[in-house]
Amino acid sequence: MSAGDDSEGYLTGQLLVAMPQMEDSRFVRSVIYMCAHTAEGAMGLVINKLMDNISFPDLLDQLNLAGAEAPDGVNVHFGGPVETGRGFVLHSADYVQDATLVIDDTVALTATIDILKAIATGKGPKFSLLALGYAGWGPGQLDDELQRNGWLSVPADDGLIFGEGLDDRWERAIAKLGIDAGMLSGAAGRA
């Protein structure tokens, strides 16, 4: 069973885009891919912010995978503020292990050293995004933040998840809804 089988109203497989009034500095202008969202809570990965203190070769060395050759273009993303020492790989569903969570027909999540070895040896998924940490919400917490207009929900696509251009990913995600990011106000008003 895939995570995409969740009940209607949940955002598994969608993108969350932080609204301009986002007060939590860790999530300002963030785009988060939602890996799971149920009545028990939610989990996602920030897909538009890089870690500035570690590279993929550094990570391979720390995991004693020194024999693995790091391919070009593999970045380490800030996945969120929870368990920042734990790694997750969001990837195309052409690569599946026993420990892989298949989110939908095109996207999966794996959190094992084996996928890092596979990526390092060129045997990994066609598309991947490596993240340290994740964004997590307890029961009802994300729903409350959505009701308070902290986030917009946007349909995910491979270009936004795995494509180039981290600097403008937030604007592109909002534009997918037909909204000009420059027209969004950071101030909430009352009628």
Q: Is the dihedral of CA 153, 81, 115, 97 positive or negative?
A: negative
State residue 188's pLDDT score: 46
Over residues 133-156, the mean pLDDT reads 94
Tell me, yes or no, whether 38 lies in a domain.
Answer: yes
Residue 152 near residue 30 (C-beta atoms within 8 A): no
The pair of structure tokens assigned to 152 is 């917009």
Distance CA 178, CA 168 (A): 15
The answer to the question of residue 81 being in a domain is yes
Residue 141 in domain: yes
Q: For the chain, what is the domain count?
A: 1
| pLDDT of 30 higher than 70 | yes
Higher pLDDT, 118 or 6: 118
Q: Cα(142)–Cα(61) distance, rounded to whole angstroms?
A: 36
Is 40 inside any structural domain? yes
pLDDT value for 67:
60
At position 76, the amino acid (one-letter code) is V
191 within some domain: no
What is the mean pLDDT of the segment spanning 24-43? 95
In a domain, 185, yes or no: no
In a domain, 19, yes or no: yes
| Close Cβ partners of 83 (under 8 Å, ≥ 6 residues apart) | 133, 134
- The per-residue pLDDT for range 56-106, each reduced to its tens digit, is 888 888 888 756 666 767 889 999 999 998 999 999 999 999 999 999 999
* Residue 165 pLDDT level (bands cut at 50, 70, 90): confident
Residues of the chain with pLDDT > 90, as a percent, come to 63
87 in any annotated domain: yes
Work out whether the CA dihedral 187, 180, 140, 88 comes out positive or negative.
negative
> What is the pLDDT, as a whole number, of residue 88?
96
Element (DSSP H or E) covering residue 56:
helix 56-62
Q: Which CATH number does the domain housing residue 43 bear?
A: 3.40.1740.10
Enter the pTM of the model: 0.88
Give the C-alpha separation, 65 to 57, whole Å.
9
Domain enclosing residue 161, as ranges? 3-180
Using an 8 Å Cβ cutoff, are 91 and 109 in contact?
yes
For residue range 96-124, what is the model confidence (pLDDT) as tens digits? Answer: 999 999 999 999 999 999 999 899 888 99
